[in-house]
Chains A and B, each alone.
Chain A
Amino acid sequence: MAAEPVLAVDDLRVTIATRRGPARVVNGVSWAVAPGETLAVVGESGSGKSVSVLSLLGLVPRPPATVTGRATFQGQDLVALPEEALRKVRGPGIAMVFQDPMTSLNPVLTVGRQLTEGMEVHLGLDRRAATERAAELLDLVGIPSPRERLASYPHHLSGGMRQRVMIAVALSCEPAVLIADEATTALDVTIQAQIVELIAELQRELGMAVVWITHDLGVVAGIADRVAVMYAGRIVEEGAVDDLYADPRHPYTRGLLASLPVLGDRARGGEGRHPADLAVIPGLPPDPVHLPPGCPFHPRCPVRADERCATEEPPLRPVPGARGPAPHRVATFYDLPPEDRR
């Protein structure tokens, strides 16, 4: 990417103290995202993808968590920033949309109130002006008769509508970065596609950077510029979306892609998935308290083409022939032969 990144994460590590010992949830993650760009961070639940972004905003309680590394946003290091300064970043700087719109909205406050409170705090608007803008925002995210909806409570709305409200809340202070954390996972497939499309559209209009956190490669295929695949708190493969989909180099990425129905269709919405037909990677992600030595994926890996897999951690390196500002990189000791994807 030619543009200067708006948010750059460097060697982020998160460890959470548990009764069984420290859980190493995020283990040295680096990525960057530029204005107008969409980065997708993909991985199974438990891969550390949500914790990594939550920890950037101080939303993982410390203690029990400890966070190290750097996260540069508008010249500040978010990891080192005191809570009060970080609070001012949340909302106007970096905003989030969460997974479950049923529980992410406060049940005892009206939609209007939940929209206006952030604007009152960050933009210094009075109640009237904030309410005015709240109605505009609801209109922007495609909610019919927005003015009446301001007085609704979340339980009056459908799941898709609630997620639109969540997006309106996130956009209310015009963030430079929008983080969508499994923002479509709890929704029906058709609604998923609408929400994905809505965020893409708003991004074009508002020029913000978007980070999609998802376990579903299919959701982001059509909209992401770049993809980073996470496993056990590490990035195991990253690259431009086309490179990565056309020529996945990590056995884990291949497994994830194999578990998708026909690529491309789902991003545009329509087809439901048929779980019974899909290949699933056998086994479970490792316990972050007892990470295996070597490549964290090796106990589940169908390839294991190098004896170092079980003893050394493979570094993230460019795949042969990778070019450009966002080269295709993979964390393996070997190069898999190209896979026939069609």
Chain B
Amino acid sequence: MTALDDTPAGPAEAGQVAAPDEAVGARGLLRALLRNRLAAAALVVLAIFVVVAVLGERLAPYGRNEVSSADKLRAPSLEHPFGTDQLGRDVLSRVLIGAEPSLRVGLVAVGIALVAGVVLGLVAGYYRGLVDDVVMRCMDVLFAFPAILLAIAVMAIRGRGATNAMIAIGVVYTPIFARVTRASVLTVREQVFVRAARSIGAGDLRIMTRHVLPNVAAPIIVQTSISLAFAILAEAALSFIGLGTQPPEPSWGRMLADGRGFIQDAWWMAVFPGLAIFAVVLSFNVTGDALRDALDPRQRSAIESAAGRG
């Protein structure tokens, strides 16, 4: 049959013995992303924000809490491109410095969810049976709570602050990773190379880490990118209601909350931090989409992201 479509055969091709991820490779993946112009732009935006988060203070024209009481609530100007806030602090500097806490909380939270969820999903999908039932029902229970509310409830127990926000958001996104991982493990565990490894007497741990994990990596990578988007939104939301990053440390959500009180007189206070959140979240979402297209066009984890929104 002559196909009109020249998409290369998918990694899940039956009977394939080699670990297919090696065939794609990180380099090939990057190339695929850069070919997609929107994704390339998103990667550039993300790279800029990472640089900003690392250099933060050094890039900012003013100090993080440098107050100039003569310059309160100044509109954007050459001197203060994003204006100043109610204490006379430079909004641009605070948006730049705020990148670090905002990104760090999201990153660590997704890290927690990734490790916990992948381990649980791997174990559930690999062993099946009772372990699977117990683990996945627990995940269902967590999943039954609306994301932001579960985070709020966790914070109600553990208290305010950036560290607890990471834990709370991590807990919220664990079930998604567990589900995505388990679903992929189920399709992989019966494939030839896993059975081959088992037949030569490889141990469970070895099979899981060396054979199963690399082959379920694609959907997990996609989910990571999408979850980063939502985790950063969640951090902003928690900080906005005063539960997350605590003042005087600037975080975008916190700045939005401050700006809300002055919205009529100083729109710039709320608009610029919001744009920063929007740009980062959009970039992660676009990257996630492009990754999905590049790695696995058929995967429909958008269902998970739709449910995770909020």
Contact = CB atoms under 8 A, between A and B. Distances in A.
- Verify whether A and B have any Cβ pair under 8 Å: yes
A254 to B, nearest CB: 22
Interface of B: 1-2, 4-6
B126 to A, nearest CB: 36
Contacts of A289: 2, 4
Interface in A89-144: none
Interface in A20-47: 20, 23, 45-46
A19 B1 CA distance: 17
B4 to A, nearest CB: 5
B2 A287 contact: yes
Contacts of B4: 16, 18, 23, 288-289
B9 to A, nearest CB: 16
Nearest to A25: B4
Contacts of A285: 2
A276 interface: no
Nearest to A23: B4
A146 B1 CA distance: 40
Nearest to A288: B2
Nearest to B6: A20
B93 to A, nearest CB: 48
Contacts of B2: 46, 284-289
Contacts of B1: 45-46, 284
Given A18-B5, A289-B2, 15 more contacts: A16-B4, A18-B4, A19-B5, A19-B6, A20-B6, A45-B1, A46-B1, A46-B2, A284-B1, A285-B2, A286-B2, A287-B2, A288-B2, A288-B4, A289-B4
Interface residues of A, number: 13
Interface of B is mostly: loop
Contacts of A19: 5-6
A297 to B, nearest CB: 14
* The 3 residue pairs across chains A and B that have the minimum distance between CB atoms: A287-B2, A18-B4, A20-B6
Interface in A225-267: none
Contacts of A284: 1-2
Contacts of B6: 18-20
A285 B2 CA distance: 7
Contacts of A46: 1-2
Contacts of A286: 2
A64 to B, nearest CB: 9
A247 B102 CA distance: 80
B142 to A, nearest CB: 35
A75 to B, nearest CB: 34
Nearest to B4: A18
Interface in A276-334: 284-289
A288 B1 CA distance: 11
Nearest to B3: A287
A288 B6 CA distance: 13
A289 B5 CA distance: 11
18 contacts: A16-B4, A18-B4, A18-B5, A18-B6, A19-B5, A19-B6, A20-B6, A23-B4, A45-B1, A46-B1, A284-B1, A284-B2, A285-B2, A286-B2, A287-B2, A288-B2, A288-B4, A289-B2
Contacts of B5: 18-19
Interface in A68-87: none
B5 to A, nearest CB: 7
A287 B2 CA distance: 5
A287 B5 CA distance: 11
Nearest to B7: A19
A16 B2 CA distance: 13
